[in-house]
A and B are shown apart, each in its own frame.
Chain A
Amino acid sequence: MQGNEACVEGALDAGVRFYAGYPITPSSEIAEDFAAKLPPLGGKFIQMEDEIASMAAVVGASLAGQKAVTATSGPGFSLKQEIIGFATMVEAPCVIMNVQRAGPSTGLPTSPAQGDVMQARWGTHGDHPALVLCPSSVTDAYLLSFQAVNWAERFRTPVIVLLDETIGHLRERVRLPGREEMVISSRKQPHGDPETFQPYEITDEDLIPPLPPYGGGYRFHTTGLYHDETGFPSNRPEVTDRLLNRLHEKIDKYKETLFLYESYGLRQANQLIISYGASARSAKAAWRKAREKGLLVGLLILKTIWPFPEEIVTQAGHDKNNIVVAEMNKGQLIGEVERVMDKRIPIRGANRADGVLITPEQILAKLEGVN
C-alpha cells in the first residue's frame, strides 16, 4: 500500500464519509482513492473549483454532521489557510492532509520537502492552537490519519496530517493493530431542549461544547467573529478572552496524551538525533550506522510536532552533549528544540532542501566522533 492510500484507509476506518478537494501533486492519489471508495460507502466526494472552496465545503459538511477531510500540497495548503482559521474559530472538526513538496510557490511538484512545518503551525492568522501529525512510514500514514480524525472530533478542531512526497508515494508492508484496538471518537451530541440550546455553552470538564448537525433540530449560528455561548458575535473583552483561552486550553489540558513519538537507545547515549517524517527514515539508518561504529547515539522520532512535545524532547536531550535535528528544510523544528533545551547543549541541524531525500551520511556527519 502507498502512503497516500494508507491515509485514505485510515480516514475511512475512522468514519470519514466526506471529501472535497482540488487535486495537486503529490497528493492526488488521496483524492483519487476517496473518489473510488466513498460512493460505495454512501459517502460524498466532491471535486471543487479550487482549494479555498474545498476547505469551505469540508467545514460545511462537518457542521452538517459528517466526518470530513481534504488533501492538498503546498500551493493548495496556502489557499486553505483562511478557512482553516474559520474551522478553528467555529470549532468544526476536520482533517487537512498536506503532502509536502518543495516550495515556495509551485516549487518542485514531484520532490519531497518539509518546508511547511511552520506554516502548519502558524499558516492561518491569529493566536490559534494547532494539532499536527507527521507520518514517517506507510503504517504511520494509516494510524495517524485515523488518529487525526479522532482528535478532530474529540477536540472540535482542524487537525493537519503533514506528509511529504517520499512517504506519500512510498509502498511498503503495513502492520496494523487489530480492529478492536482501533477506537473511534465522534463529536459529542447535545441532549437538552432544542429551543433553549446554547451552541457554545460549556458545561463539561473538557471545555468542549457538543456539536449537533445542521438540520437535526438544534438551530445555531456560526461566525468567524468572536462569539459568546449563543454563537452570535460579541466584541466584549471578557468574551474574547474566554473564547481564545478556551480554544487553547481544550487542547493544552490533554497535551500529554497527544505526544506520539518513537525512541531508540536514549538511555545509553550521549548524543541524540531528532527527526520526523521522511527524514526520520534516514535518521534511523544513520542511528543504526552510528551504533555499528560504537557511538552512543539515541534517536527520537516525533509523530506529533504541534503542539511541540517539549517535555519529551527535553527529557530525551537534557543529558546529551550533542543534538542533531534532521529535517528537509533550512531549519524549522530545530528552532523549537533550541527554545526548550538548555543553552549549553550544542544543537546542530542536518538539513537538505534541494528536493532530494536527506541521506543517512549527511546526518552521520553531524555526530561527534564519526571519523
Chain B
Amino acid sequence: MARYEIRLSGAGGQGLILAGIILSEAVVRFTDKEVIQTQSYGPEARGGASKAEVIISDEEIDYPQVNKPDFLLALTQEAYNKYNRDLKEYGTMVVDERVDISPRGGPTYAVPIQRLTQEKLGTRMVVNVVSLALFNKLHEVVETEKLKTIILERVPKGTEELNKKALELGEELANNLNQFKIKGKEEEEE
C-alpha cells in the first residue's frame, strides 16, 4: 500500500497510545511493510484529548508526521473536535456513537464501541484493544492470531482473558460495520 496515515484518538488514559504501539509492532514483526508510530505526549494530554498516529507504507517513510490521515478513530467528542479537521476528504472515520459529527463525504461509522465494551466485557478499560481489533480487521493488517500474540505480550498480567474477549468484540464490530454507517453529505441531499 502507498503511505497510509492512521490517527487513533480519544481521552488520555484510554490506552490508544498502547494500541498504536501494538499496531506498529505487529507491522514490524509480521509484515514487510514500513511503519512509524508517534504520539501526542505530555501533561496536556492527560485526561484531555490524546492521539496516537501510525503510518504504514510499502516504501521508506521519511517525513514521520501524519499530515492528512486516511483513517480517524475518535472515541470522544473532544478528540473528534480537535483531530477531525485534517482528515482526508474521502478518508474513513470511525467515531463512538455518542460523538456528534458534521456530515461529510467519506465513509463514516458511528459505532457503540464504549457502550458495547462496557455491556459485554463489564469494563471500559479495554476499549483500546476493541478499537485496535476493529481497525485491524477492517484493514487486514495482520492475521487475528498474530495481533493476539502481541496484545498478550503487551497487556498487564491477569488481563489476558479480558483482552482476548476485547479482540473478539472488535472484530465482530468490524464485521458488522455497515450497520453503523452514517449517511454521507451527498446521500442526505438526494
B36 and A171 within 8 A (CB) = yes
B113 at the A/B interface (Cβ < 8 Å)?
Answer: no
- The docked-state distance in angstroms from the alpha carbon of A27 to that of B110 is 38
- The docked-state distance in angstroms from the alpha carbon of A26 to that of B42 is 9
A67 at the A/B interface (Cβ < 8 Å)?
Answer: no
Residues of B contacting A184 in the complex (Cβ-Cβ under 8 angstroms): none
A172 and B37 within 8 A (CB) = yes
Interface size on B, residues (CB 8 A): 18
A110 and B38 within 8 A (CB) = no
For chains A and B in complex, what number of residue pairs have CB atoms within 8 angstroms? Answer: 51
A282 and B35 within 8 A (CB) = no
A109 and B42 within 8 A (CB) = yes
A332 at the A/B interface (Cβ < 8 Å)?
Answer: no
Given the contacts A282-B63, A359-B63, A169 and B34 also touching, CB distance less than 8 Å: no
In this complex, what residue of B is CB-closest to A278? B64
Option from A25, A171, A357 in Cβ contact (under 8 Å) with B65: A357
A285 and B63 within 8 A (CB) = yes
Given the contacts A172-B34, A172-B35, A288 and B62 also touching, CB distance less than 8 Å: yes
B28 at the A/B interface (Cβ < 8 Å)?
Answer: yes
A170 and B38 within 8 A (CB) = yes
Residues of B contacting A169 in the complex (Cβ-Cβ under 8 angstroms): 38-39, 41
Q: Which residues of A contact B (CB under 8 A)?
A: 25-26, 109-110, 166, 169-173, 278, 281-282, 284-285, 288, 357, 359-360
Q: Which residues of B contact A (CB under 8 A)?
A: 21, 24-25, 28, 34-39, 41-42, 44, 61-65
Instruction: List 15 additional A-B contacts (Cβ < 8 Å) besides A171-B25, A172-B34.
Output: A25-B42, A110-B44, A169-B38, A169-B39, A169-B41, A172-B61, A173-B28, A173-B34, A173-B35, A284-B62, A284-B63, A285-B62, A285-B63, A359-B63, A359-B65
